[in-house]
Amino acid sequence: MGNIPHEIGNLSNLISLVLSGNSLTGFIPESLERLQKLQLLGLETNILQGSIPNDLCLLRMLSTLGLGDNELFGPVPACLGNISSLRNLYLQSNRLNFTIPVNLWSLKDLLTLNLSSNAFIGNLPSEIGNLKAAITIDLSMNQLSGQIPNTTEGLQNLLYLSLAQNRFEGRVPESFGSLLSLQSINLSYNNLSGAIPKSLEALKYLKYFNVSFNKLSGEIPTGGPFANFTSESFMDNEELCGAPQFHVPACYNGTNHHSKTRKILLLTCIPLSVVSILLALMTAFALKRRRKRLKPPTQFDEFSPQTFERVTYQELLRATEGFSESNLLGVGSFGSVYKGILTNGTILAIKLFNLQVESAFKSFDTECEILRNIRHRNLTKVISSCSSPDFKALILEYMPNGNLEKWLYSHNYFLDISKKLEILIDVACALEYLHHGYSTPVLHLDLKPSNVLLDEDMVARVSDFGIAKFLGDGENAAHTKTLATLGYMAPEYGSEGLVSTKCDVYSFGIMLMETFTRTSPTDAKFTEDFSLKRWVEESLPDKIIQVVDTNLLRPKEENYSVKVQCVSSIMELALNCSTVSPEERINMKDVLASLKKIRLAFLTNCGEI
């Protein structure tokens, strides 16, 4: 229980540190970089949060790094690929995302690589063949896509390979047949097509083989290890044929051709004016098949049926080019958002939920429930949803100007004081509606700049209701086990799981400070004893210019004193929003009124009104 103490970095002669299975919380301390003799770091099966610190890359003698089964998120530091001594890397069962760093494939002495059960995206590069010493490679249960590279012939020591439950397509590489040490291959739950290579018959040590739930075709090999495999290795590949032991049709010449011809005839000959009884039979047939196997989603929940046509799963695939990385807009805790363009030119945003992440199902259901019932100009607009047991997505209105985080931290973008005020007033309007304008108070619980989207007119829309919560009749607060983003979370939320409208007020206060200081609450300068809030607090009333974004206040510019007064008022309001005691925080009605008053005074004193 508890955090890993910062002082652990004082154990400079430590060679092995194993703290696995202790329910440890908090962040991985940066002070670990001082353990320059460390060879084994085992922090698996805890509740550690935050990102993997780059400081771990300074442990040049590290042989084994075990961070699996935690709640770590964000990208894997590319610099881990520079630790040439690394032999075992365990990062499984976290919330890590983005692409797998190219540098990892240069670890030619790596024995074990386990990145399973995360949210990695992108293609598997040809450089995977550089892991010549690898014994185990497990990349299962991610969102990897593209073709499996045919450059694996160098993995001659590989015993276990799992690429299951991703989005790989194309053929099973012939080069797998040269990996003579292989004992286990799992390629199930992908979109692989073509024949199973007969070269795999040479794998005499292969004991486990699974290509179920793909789109494979042709004859199943029977030689070598295939003589011992059962139908469980080949389930739900409609075009496979072979021996009776595999429970597939026998192979006949021309079978595939005639099967495809029949499908084309069915698709083209059934008239559009299908009678109702035929529709009923087809629906019953589809439901029966859905129970038996995974298939592309066919259930849609319309949010605006009067204004938007139904979008099929196939159209989503085409619109996003197969959920291509080039269309990726962002990655969150429960999935990824892609830009999609329909054939009629309509641009959409598709939020694809990663169902391998714990609570993703609940997040999808929560977001659907809330966005079905609330409407406001400053809330993200959901057009439709797409749902089946193995696929869940929300179809959203596309926001061409991205999110507030991009505008705060990208060097190519700039928001002046007036525009920042407008955006924050938009956000306050949304929260005021959620808390006071709806029949039941709605708690957002994850307010931060990345969840504030901007439309073509730079109007702000609050998004991502994945962990939001309705308060019951007469309830002022509730308990939850789902944690929000560190840095923005109210103290009572983080320590007790107690949530109320005042949690959103706290997050809004932190976001106010961040927006005008252009400094994240998780910036490296902040510690447990020195936070963004304390930094701002200590600057008032006379040192405010020391914390405010330098692009907003320039001493010799026009209306300098007016701008200083405006930002000072905003920071005072932010501190009133983020008091430790929720009872002392003001409500969103008063926050909105105060912001409008500050903006009016600013524009009046600048002569803009």
Which of 69, 426, 446, 549 is catalytic? The answer is 446
Tell me whether residue 413 is exposed, middle or buried, using C-beta atoms within 10 angstroms of its C-beta: 0 to 12, 13 to 18, 19 or more.
exposed
Which residues is 17 bridged to in the sheet?
41
Distance CA 270, CA 272 (A): 7
Q: What is the DSSP string of 229-269?
A: --GGGS-S-TEEE--GGGTSPPP-TTHHHHHHHHHHHHHHH
| Contact indicator for 425, 588 with CB cutoff of 8 Å | no
**Phi and psi at residue 509, in whole multiples of 5°?**
-60, -45
Residues 6+ apart with CB under 8 A from 203: 176, 177, 179, 180, 182, 224, 225
- The Cα-based distances of 477 to 373, 481, 501 in angstroms read 21, 14, 8
Total residues found in the chain within this entry: 609
Q: Which position has the token pair 């609570």?
A: 359
Residues 6+ apart with CB under 8 A from 5: 29
Task: State how far Cα 46 lies from the chain centre.
Answer: 20
Distance CA 388, CA 105 (A): 35
For 41, the 3-state DSSP assignment is strand
- The Cα-based distances of 526 to 52, 54, 503 in angstroms read 17, 16, 21
Taking residue 498's Cβ as centre, other Cβ atoms within 10 Å add up to: 17
Has 457 been annotated as catalytic?
A: no
The C-alpha angle with vertex 111 and arms to 106 and 112, in degrees rounded to 5, equals 100
Distance CA 433, CA 466 (A): 18
Q: What is the DSSP string of 340-396?
A: EE-TTS-EEEEEEE-TTSTTHHHHHHHHHHHHHH---TTBPPEEEEEEETTEEEEEE
The C-alpha angle with vertex 273 and arms to 272 and 275, in degrees rounded to 5, equals 125
Q: Is 362 annotated as a binding residue?
A: yes
Residues 6+ apart with CB under 8 A from 408: 415, 449, 514, 515, 518
The C-alpha angle with vertex 372 and arms to 367 and 375, in degrees rounded to 5, equals 105
Taking residue 588's Cβ as centre, other Cβ atoms within 10 Å add up to: 25
Distance CA 403, CA 408 (A): 9
- Which residues contribute to the annotated binding site for ATP? 362
- Which residues contribute to the annotated binding site? 362
Q: Which residues are catalytic?
A: 446
